[in-house]
Amino acid sequence: MANEKIILGIDPGTTIMGFGIIKIIHKKMHFVQMNELQLKKYDDPYVKLKLIFERTIELIDTYHPDEIAIEAPFYGKNVQSMLKLGRAQGVAMAAGLSRQIPITEYLPKKIKMAITGSGNASKEQVAKMLQGMLGLKTLPKNLDSTDGLAAAVCHFYNEGRVEVGKSYSGWSSFVKQNSSPTPKGGVKGSTVVNLRKKKS
């Protein structure tokens, strides 16, 4: 196992996409960056998806993450909101897949549990815990970026303990394995998308 690793965490959204980056050196976390992509001013949903893809590619090409952790859409009553979130997540995943970077999805409750010990923690509680863990001087006004950072930290804490995983050798297998409806209850905690050589 390499002594250094960079993890990109993404909180996808069509209004704000939050992201955070951490570097792991000898199994210790170091904060690199967090920020957000503001999409409120764009009315065209396809322009938003294009910008999400381009920003994700830019982050990948700038920071060269070894792995990507992404927050999975939660199951809500508003079907339109779920559709928009799913599209945003899919576009961010496509960017990672195009660069052959392993991707792991985490349910919101699993991320909150990893950071705070409670799956029902608020955004503010997650942000405060991250501030203490990583020695952040200040927190952003919007907490979408800390949500992205939380996905990266969750991935670090869950390394080697993925409960539910899927490995994909390419686009064709990705489409094949995701063409059927999600089983009742959805994934238990995380789903892995890995285009790199499988570990023995």
Please enumerate in sequence order all residues whose Cβ is within 8 A of that of 91, keeping only pairs 6 or more positions apart, or say none.
Answer: 12, 49, 52, 53, 56
Residue 199 belongs to a domain: no
Identify the pLDDT of residue 182.
43
Separation of alpha carbons 146 and 36, rounded Å: 9
Residue 13 belongs to a domain: yes
pLDDT tens digits for 140-199?
A: 888 999 999 999 999 999 985 544 334 333 455 455 656 654 444 444 456 665 555 444
* 11 annotated to bind ligand: yes
- With residue 105 as reference, give the H or E element that holds it: strand 103-106
What's the number of domains the chain is made of?
1
Top-confidence residue, 1 or 138:
138
Residue 54 belongs to a domain: yes
Residue 198 belongs to a domain: no
pLDDT tens digits for 81-126?
A: 888 889 999 999 999 999 999 999 999 999 999 999 999 999 999 9
* 71 annotated to bind ligand: yes
- Structural domain boundaries enclosing 72: 4-193
45-63 and 79-98 helices cross at what angle (nearest 10)?
Answer: 40
Residue 118 belongs to a domain: yes
* 147 annotated to bind ligand: no
Q: Which residues are catalytic?
A: 11, 71, 144
What's the rounded mean pLDDT across residues 74-79?
A: 71
CATH of the domain at 26: 3.30.420.10
pLDDT at 10 exceeding the cut of 80: yes
